[in-house]
Amino acid sequence: MDIYRYDDSFRYEGYPVIAGIDEAGRGPIAGPVVAAAVILPRSLRINRLRDSKKVPEKERAFLFWEILVSAVDIGVGIIDNVEIDRINILRATLNAMKSAVDDLTMTPDALIIDAVTIPLVPIKQFPVIKADAKSASVAAASIVAKYIRDMMMIHFDSLYPQYDFKKHKGYGTREHMERIMQHGPCPLHRKSFRQVMTAEFPFPLS
């Protein structure tokens, strides 16, 4: 599938300015969820742009800077783990996406979003399953969100080096769970996530 032609199909339907929306960080047990909204120029073609999950870390950094200097507009929304615990991860993700749209300096005609609809956003929305693999704008948003979140987790690693956040980025790897069992959760951990609490208390409490 040509991800640029996919975006063009929405422009041909009467939505000349489209923003792709995607997030990073729904699955981890620590750290924030980050969303990005990206408006790409109609004629832009970024070589090897694709879903961030299929891009190696070094190439992702290169693509991030390509998008940053080439995009018409970029918005970012970040919801921290405390708010995630308060309202749940789905609502936090939707709030991050809304914040990303609100962060844009221009108002797009339509939003292409990976599989969800954002409440309280008065812009035409197209929720598309696996949109990050179909739409250039969403693929760009996935790169931006993933890169920003990874950089945040690398910074957090310097604050809490005992958890090795720079390696697993907050995902519930075996090593990460062992670190929680050893040290207990830190202020970045999502206390509402069952994995965090079962790692903290691996044995039944009497």
In whole angstroms, give the CA distance from residue 121 to residue 195. Answer: 33
Identify whether 133 is part of a domain: yes
Looking at the DSSP bridge assignments, the partners of residue 36 are: 22, 76
Closest CA to 186 of 195, 196, 178, 194: 196
Identify whether 153 is part of a domain: yes
Q: If pLDDT is split at 50, 70 and 90, which confidence band does 56 have?
A: confident
Identify whether 44 is part of a domain: yes
Q: Which residue has the tokens 């609490």?
A: 197
Identify whether 191 is part of a domain: no
Domain with 20 in it: 3-160
**CB atoms near residue 69 (< 10 Å):** 7
The pLDDT of residue 165 is above 70: yes
Task: Pick the range with the lowest mean pLDDT from 40-49, 52-61, 130-139.
Answer: 52-61
The pLDDT of residue 198 is above 80: no
* pLDDT tens track for 106-143: 999 999 998 899 999 999 999 999 999 999 999 999 99
* Number of domains the chain is built from: 1
Identify whether 189 is part of a domain: no
Q: List the structure tokens of 115.
A: 């599989």
Identify whether 97 is part of a domain: yes
Better-scored residue on pLDDT, 63 or 194: 63
In whole angstroms, give the CA distance from residue 16 to residue 43. Answer: 12
Closest CA to 123 of 155, 101, 147, 96: 101
Q: How large is the average pLDDT for residues 36-43?
A: 95
Q: List the structure tokens of 109.
A: 């005609």
Identify whether 201 is part of a domain: no
Percent of the chain whose pLDDT exceeds 70: 96
The pLDDT of residue 5 is above 80: yes
Contacts of 160 by beta carbon, 8 Å cutoff, 6+ apart: 186, 188
Question: Which CATH number fits the domain that encloses residue 112?
Answer: 3.30.420.10
Identify whether 165 is part of a domain: no
Task: Give the 3-state secondary structure of residue 86.
Answer: helix
**CB atoms near residue 122 (< 10 Å):** 6
Beta 124-128 vs 18-24: how paired, if at all? unpaired
Average pLDDT over the chain, rounded to whole?
A: 93
* pLDDT tens track for 63-90: 999 999 999 999 999 999 999 999 999 9
* pLDDT tens track for 13-37: 999 999 999 999 999 999 999 999 9
